[in-house]
Chain A
């Protein structure tokens, strides 16, 4: 495009870039590079990292198991109140995670509506356990998966499903042999976003599952605690999370996000 660039737009844009990039640059600049490997090998760091990876992966698995059918329901079956259900499903996207944690406590806590029954009938307690971490992460991350998969389902060509039906495929056969393979990229993208969100979860986790090292202290929680006692450790932990985010973003861009 010819002509001078309008500075009224370019200047704020540049400030915007700096605002987003500078903190990350600061993290890199202040990182204790000389002692990095040594600090990364510390048991608490490894423990938090392991816990984070395990819980985020389990939460993603949970979300896939329930989120994909939910997305299918929202995209393919018209039922009364579908719009309301879709709105409710996406609430955790905008809800402050702390509120989510409180809500989970009220329902699944030892005296909660469901938690009480779980406790008396099966002896299961969720709050302040690793399972609780998974629940909190899944609660916050599931909408990412549902929205992504629902979008893929809506964009998928329904005529392939019709073709499968004329060949004698039942709805379940159509779903797992035609629909799922066709929307696989959407599911993978949704799962990656979901996993990344679960990995970074803080508010709901600390509220619902607490902060016990080795049991419920995930990376973000460890960062927050370390910042008060040992700032350099916090930086190292943050670097790890930053690296994971960048890797995810890069892989998403390359393979699944068709942006120009």
Chain B
């Protein structure tokens, strides 16, 4: 195990307490809402925020007793923080210089890194002359140029526009794949996390609420925040006899187990009816339309009632059913489209 840490940071009104392990070559994304403590965790790993308790071990050596400048880390900051008075090349050469390389060696090494991120022709540019995507790549090269054992990335794509983001995301993925140390990435964007990370660690209010492979987290969310991120309706209920009871509504499910359970389904799996459909009363409830909004090519209907749910329907269906806010409507989900798992 490359990184093994127990991070505890206490501040008035806030406590971060998480266990984090990252294997060599593994990319772990810390995902969570604003103020959850993701950035605090990253700063603690870098030594920029002091631990109140706990420990950080990298390659079986304690890191928390070491000052920031002596930690074998590379960090990419949210706004990159390239030194405005230095050229792109000298920004990248800064770290190696601090580690004792001669001026010419440092610059030669920096040129290689700039070439690797495809910015050779911008070596002499000042940071303010670089585009957001270029600055991001210089920041990455600067962090990697010190040959760190652990790479820390704080919202590496947040400052980019949508188009650049797509391109930089795939480049970043390639560079992270080439890196053999531990990578910890902070993001609030589920897509960044899914594309870049081998494992997601979801943090809410300073604690880990869920972790696992991206596919697993996307399929089986365990909190409302994660469910919203991955775009699923999520409920907590009790499972018995292939049936999960959530308040007044019961769902037929394929999975068989007894006890506390989550049931999740996609908004697209929800069908709406003006009158009560015939057949099984399961997976069916009477709802009130709270809101209607565009959602991609479809329309998202927000439903209140015994359970709060989102339903995605086509614009044609909205017209056919003559849906308006405040209206009462029947909602149903096919048993095959629900997914239940132990809570």
A174 closest partner in B (C-beta): B69
Residues of A within 8 A of B330 (CB): none
How far is B70's CA from A182's CA once the two chains are assembled, in angstroms? Answer: 24
For the complex, is B48 an interface residue (Cβ under 8 Å from A)?
yes
- Size band of the interface chain A makes with B: 10 to 19
User: Number of B interface residues, CB 8 Å?
Assistant: 25
For the complex, is B73 an interface residue (Cβ under 8 Å from A)?
yes
How far is B318's CA from A37's CA once the two chains are assembled, in angstroms? Answer: 92
Question: Is the Cβ of B85 less than 8 Å from the Cβ of A167?
Answer: no
A167 to chain B, nearest CB (A): 4
For the complex, is A3 an interface residue (Cβ under 8 Å from B)?
no
Question: Is the Cβ of B98 less than 8 Å from the Cβ of A170?
Answer: yes
Question: Is the Cβ of A166 less than 8 Å from the Cβ of B75?
Answer: yes
How far is B169's CA from A47's CA once the two chains are assembled, in angstroms? Answer: 68
- How many interface contacts (CB-CB < 8 Å) are there between A and B? 60
A170 in complex: contacting residue of B48, B69, B81, B94, CB < 8 Å: B69
A180 closest partner in B (C-beta): B85
Contact with A along B66-108 (1 / 0, CB 8 A): 0111110111010101011100000000110011000000000
Residues of A within 8 A of B48 (CB): 162, 165-166
Question: Is the Cβ of B81 less than 8 Å from the Cβ of A167?
Answer: no
How far is B95's CA from A260's CA once the two chains are assembled, in angstroms? Answer: 39
For the complex, is A250 an interface residue (Cβ under 8 Å from B)?
no
For the residues of A in contact with B, the DSSP-based class is helix
Residues of B within 8 A of A178 (CB): 83
For the complex, is A163 an interface residue (Cβ under 8 Å from B)?
yes
Residues of B within 8 A of A169 (CB): 69, 94, 98
Question: Is the Cβ of A165 less than 8 Å from the Cβ of B81?
Answer: no
A165 closest partner in B (C-beta): B68
Contact with B along A151-189 (1 / 0, CB 8 A): 000000101101111111110010001100110100000
Question: Is the Cβ of B146 less than 8 Å from the Cβ of A168?
Answer: yes
* Contact A163 B68, CB 8 Å, known A168-B146, A169-B94: no
A167 closest partner in B (C-beta): B95
A19 to chain B, nearest CB (A): 43
Residues of B within 8 A of A166 (CB): 46, 48, 68-69, 71, 73-75, 143, 152
Question: Is the Cβ of B98 less than 8 Å from the Cβ of A173?
Answer: yes
A204 to chain B, nearest CB (A): 37
B69 in complex: contacting residue of A159, A168, A182, A184, CB < 8 Å: A168
B142 in complex: contacting residue of A167, A181, A182, A184, CB < 8 Å: A167
Contact with B along A131-166 (1 / 0, CB 8 A): 000000000000000000000000001011011111
Interface, chain B (partner A; CB < 8 A): 46-48, 67-71, 73-75, 77, 79, 81, 83-85, 94-95, 98-99, 142-143, 146, 152
Interface, chain A (partner B; CB < 8 A): 157, 159-160, 162-170, 173, 177-178, 181-182, 184
> What 9 A-B pairs have minimum CB-CB distances, sorted nearest first?
A167-B95, A168-B98, A181-B85, A163-B81, A166-B75, A165-B68, A169-B98, A165-B69, A168-B69
Beyond A164-B83, A167-B98, 16 additional contacts (C-beta under 8 Å) are A159-B77, A160-B81, A165-B48, A166-B46, A167-B74, A167-B143, A168-B69, A168-B70, A168-B98, A168-B99, A169-B69, A169-B98, A170-B69, A181-B83, A181-B85, A182-B83
